[in-house]
Amino acid sequence: MFRLDKENRERYTKNILNALYENDKEEFRESYLELHPSDQVDIFITLDKEGRERVYMFLEPKEFAVIFSGLYFIHQQVCIEELSDEYSSKMLNNMFTDDTVNFLKRINQEEAKHILDNMEKEKAEKIQVILDYDLETAGSVMTYEYITAFPEETAENVLDKIRREGSDAEIVYYTYVIDRKGYLMGVVTLKKLIIADPNDAVRDIMHKHIVSIPADMGQEDVGKIVQKYDLLAVPVVTEQNHLLGIITVDDVMDIIELQTTKSFGEFSTVKDATETDTSAFTAAKKRAPWIVFLMFAGLITSGVIGQFEETLESVVVLAAFMPMLMDSGGNVGTQSLAVSVRGLALGTIDVKDLWRMIRKEFSTGFLIGFVCMVLISILILIFYGNIMLGVVVGLSILVTLSISAVIGLTFPLILNKLKFDPAIASGPFITTINDIIALMIYFSIATTFMNYL
Amino acid sequence: MFRLDKENRERYTKNILNALYENDKEEFRESYLELHPSDQVDIFITLDKEGRERVYMFLEPKEFAVIFSGLYFIHQQVCIEELSDEYSSKMLNNMFTDDTVNFLKRINQEEAKHILDNMEKEKAEKIQVILDYDLETAGSVMTYEYITAFPEETAENVLDKIRREGSDAEIVYYTYVIDRKGYLMGVVTLKKLIIADPNDAVRDIMHKHIVSIPADMGQEDVGKIVQKYDLLAVPVVTEQNHLLGIITVDDVMDIIELQTTKSFGEFSTVKDATETDTSAFTAAKKRAPWIVFLMFAGLITSGVIGQFEETLESVVVLAAFMPMLMDSGGNVGTQSLAVSVRGLALGTIDVKDLWRMIRKEFSTGFLIGFVCMVLISILILIFYGNIMLGVVVGLSILVTLSISAVIGLTFPLILNKLKFDPAIASGPFITTINDIIALMIYFSIATTFMNYL
């Protein structure tokens, strides 16, 4: 059990490193290649330049291809610089198409062209097709390493084919059934193949109702479909149902995970602008519209404050608590937002029960607001010696937090009803709405009590 | 192609509904059961009470089990109320353990006990074991429907077993090899089994270096391991390596996805408090500490404003632009945060290159700030007729956005260095830091130009 037993793991790693630095090729190859590729990668990235060059020497390009595929892009760049053209083209020829593409689409076009020129012509052409698909589409993450069969082949034929070609395929559990022109007719699982009578024609045992996706489908939707139908891979087809490639579940998992960080980007209104390799000018061009739009929305708060200029002029110290009040409202609102978004995702929110949820969220906001009210009133009394100021700020925080909680709960539900993704669309708007409400509450209360301040 | 062709799909659905409401059991069963379970679910949830009761009548408990497993919890509750005890216990006996557990852990303990009492005793006991694991651990999402073999069995034996037991298993592509006492010895893939000589002993073709996880491992870590090693399922074992159950990749994808909404919760400092079924008091107790803590942090802004009370007293209108300025700084900061967090997740950030990234992010913030400066200055000149006020606010937004961008970029990198998860920990703090900096810049500039305002 190499992987999860830390002590064992350390000893094993030490043996491998010893073999490497003592130039014991045999020993190194035996113990290193036995590891899961993911563990090979973990060890490789700890090496210095000398260590890396030994690895290139000890391993065949085909063996190193597996490690290279698992590296982060910044490490891949280092390797490519260190490797001879011959070694790296052999290595790239032996990688799964999707892994090669993954690397090529991140380097500049000239370098990519140089690398493609050094590869097998047929493979290079196939890769170019994938590179030509828009980033973020299904086409750009598909791969060609799958097994196909014709409808008249027998289960036994296909099993033989899997035995022969299986080690070059990214997935052997699905065989895609196509006609002579390459149109997708169905899929047969390895399970069906071994259960079937060896002489059964594939046509009679395949699933005909199959899930397939167009090459221009967004990756996010691909993730949703694979998840919905619990697939291990999904075929990509043309409009005419011509089989183009497949996307496997491990890539889909990576997509779902990247989606997380992307949602994070969208949440902060920076969709498509999180790439780290664009110029400042391009990034600014993409990001500025939102910031400007939200700046204008933010000017509504200036209007609200303007309405209460008289109050503010007589009691300037009120300005000191504006940011704290707005932030607290925003924080409680975001918490309620999270409750709401998570409830929607988990399916635990029943809209029929809305009234009860609103009451509950209001109570929660009220209770938190009450605690804040007591604390802030005491603090203001101590530091400003002004009990009425404490009452005004305290009451404001109580009312603001109660209302912010309800807004945070209901806003995503409304967005969801309107078919927007609540996790993405809620963020920036809720801040502005909360700010406006917090300021109106604050200055209304302050104006009412102005004579006592 | 039922699934993705909308028109076709609508016609097909209409046929099924017609058959259902015209009481044509044969026709309904034939067309409905042909669908993927996920599509069966989609149709089922559109039905009214009458429709649902017809479905219970037309389908065997075993057939309905598949649909029930795919329903959201709120729909499951409705069904359980409508179903007879006999039908529902038969149905639950026919569900995969993990799906049954998923339902039972959400209803109250009394109801769960009642349901377990009506189930097959052996199955109920096994389910109870899983229910006893802490939520969010590997143990609580594992299932028992997998295939095992002894090391001395031949490949042919095991293939026969898969043919016989395959339809009851959640995954047939991995066979777990155990000794007579139930200790996990290795795993053999279906691919290996069909490639191997039929007389080969499983012992000789199994992988011995296998990845397994303890039952108390957090679900998030399970997701990471399955993703790292590209597994279709992972075995759960005791400390002594006794095989307890497995977790399949489709459940792992659901975990990764829920993780997204959970991160969203953590991002808003509401970890563990997003459950919708707790009381307002419990929720407030969990959520209040953060709000109170951030309220105190927010008071630093009051201190900053207090420092500039004189300036504010002479030019009260300055207060009107505080919220807009703070929000804009916050928005740019969050964008840069997203760039940074995504870069860390994708591995495209090279810390050696930090200085270049800072310069780039500063330039981006400066460019956005420049656009905002021009626009806001013109607006203030038009609406307030005060050119110097426009200059002060404009200059402040320029400086604030440039600095916010750099903070948004570097803060996650620092957190990452300190081994905190930057996606989670950055959110609330960055707001407060940004607010303080924005206010200091604003009032410093305003104080400098005070005589001209």
pLDDT tens digits for range A262-302: 554 444 444 444 555 567 788 788 888 877 888 888 888 88
Task: Determine whether the interchain pair B339/A35 forms a contact, defined as Cβ–Cβ distance below 8 Å.
Answer: no
Asked if residues A103 and A76 have their Cβ atoms less than 8 Å apart, the reply is yes
Instruction: Tell me the torsion sign for CA atoms A110, A115, A120, A123.
Output: negative
The helix (run of H) or strand (run of E) holding residue A186 is strand A184-189
**Average per-residue pLDDT in chain A?**
86
Any chain B CB within 8 A of the CB of A159? yes
pLDDT of residue B271: 47
CB-CB: which of B309, B357, B368 is closest to A288?
A: B368
Q: Could you tell me how many CB contacts below 8 A there are between chain A and chain B?
A: 384
CATH code 3.40.50.620 for B280-452: no
Q: Which of residues 410-449 of A touch B (CB under 8 A)?
A: 423, 428, 431-432, 435, 439
Q: Among A43, A229, A316, which would you mutate to test the B interface (most chain B Cβ atoms within 10 Å of its Cβ)?
A: A316
A301 CA to chain B: closest CA distance, Å?
7
Residues of chain A with pLDDT > 70, as a percent, come to 91
Task: Locate all alpha helices (DSSP H) within B59-105, ordered by sequence.
Answer: 61-70, 73-82, 85-93, 97-104
CB-CB: which of B73, B261, B294 is closest to A328?
A: B294
pLDDT of residue B349: 73
| Chain A: residue whose CA lies nearest to B232 | A232
B430 CA to chain A: closest CA distance, Å?
12
**Close Cβ partners of A228 (under 8 Å, ≥ 6 residues apart):** B38
Task: Determine whether the interchain pair B256/A258 forms a contact, defined as Cβ–Cβ distance below 8 Å.
Answer: no
Residue A383 has pLDDT above 70, yes or no: yes
- Which 3 state secondary structure label does DSSP give B237? strand
> The domain B6-132 belongs to what CATH superfamily?
MgtE N-terminal domain-like (1.25.60.10)
Where exactly does CATH 1.10.357.20 map onto chain B? 280-452
State how far the Cα of B299 lies from the Cα of B306, in Å rounded to an integer: 10
According to CATH, the topology of domain A147-256 is CBS-domain (3.10.580)
pLDDT of residue B142: 92
- pLDDT bracket for residue A421 (50, 70, 90): low
Residues of chain A with pLDDT > 90, as a percent, come to 43
pLDDT in tens, A81-101: 899 989 998 999 999 998 999
Residue from B160, B166, B189 nearest B176 by CA = B189
- Which 3 state secondary structure label does DSSP give B45? coil
Dump the DSSP string for A75-87: HHHHHHHHS-HHH
pLDDT of residue B1: 41
B21 CA to chain A: closest CA distance, Å?
25
State how far the Cα of A270 lies from the Cα of A288, in Å rounded to an integer: 9
Give the bridge partners for B245, in sequence order: B236
pLDDT of residue B201: 95
According to CATH, the topology of domain B147-249 is CBS-domain (3.10.580)
- pLDDT bracket for residue A139 (50, 70, 90): very high
pLDDT of residue B355: 87
- Below-50 pLDDT ranges, chain B: 1-3, 264-273
CB-CB: which of B75, B295, B328 is closest to A291?
A: B328
State how far the Cα of B375 lies from the Cα of B321, in Å rounded to an integer: 14
Residues of A in contact with B166 (CB under 8 A): 191, 195
Residue from A31, A98, A96 nearest A62 by CA = A96
pLDDT of residue A258: 67
Where exactly does CATH 3.10.580.10 map onto chain A? 147-256
pLDDT of residue B259: 64
Residues of A in contact with B267 (CB under 8 A): 264, 338
Task: Determine whether the interchain pair B324/A298 forms a contact, defined as Cβ–Cβ distance below 8 Å.
Answer: yes
Asked if residues B245 and B281 have their Cβ atoms less than 8 Å apart, the reply is no
The helix (run of H) or strand (run of E) holding residue B177 is strand B174-178
Residues of B in contact with A274 (CB under 8 A): 338-339, 342-343
For A347: left if phi > 0, alpha if psi spans -120 to 50, otherwise beta; the answer is left
Q: Which of residues 22-41 of A touch B (CB under 8 A)?
A: 34-36, 38
Task: Determine whether the interchain pair A339/B265 forms a contact, defined as Cβ–Cβ distance below 8 Å.
Answer: yes
Ranges A75-79, A245-249, B232-236, B392-396: which has the least confidence: A75-79
Q: What token pair was written down for A75?
A: 């490490």
pLDDT in tens, A206-242: 988 888 999 999 888 898 888 888 899 999 999 899 9
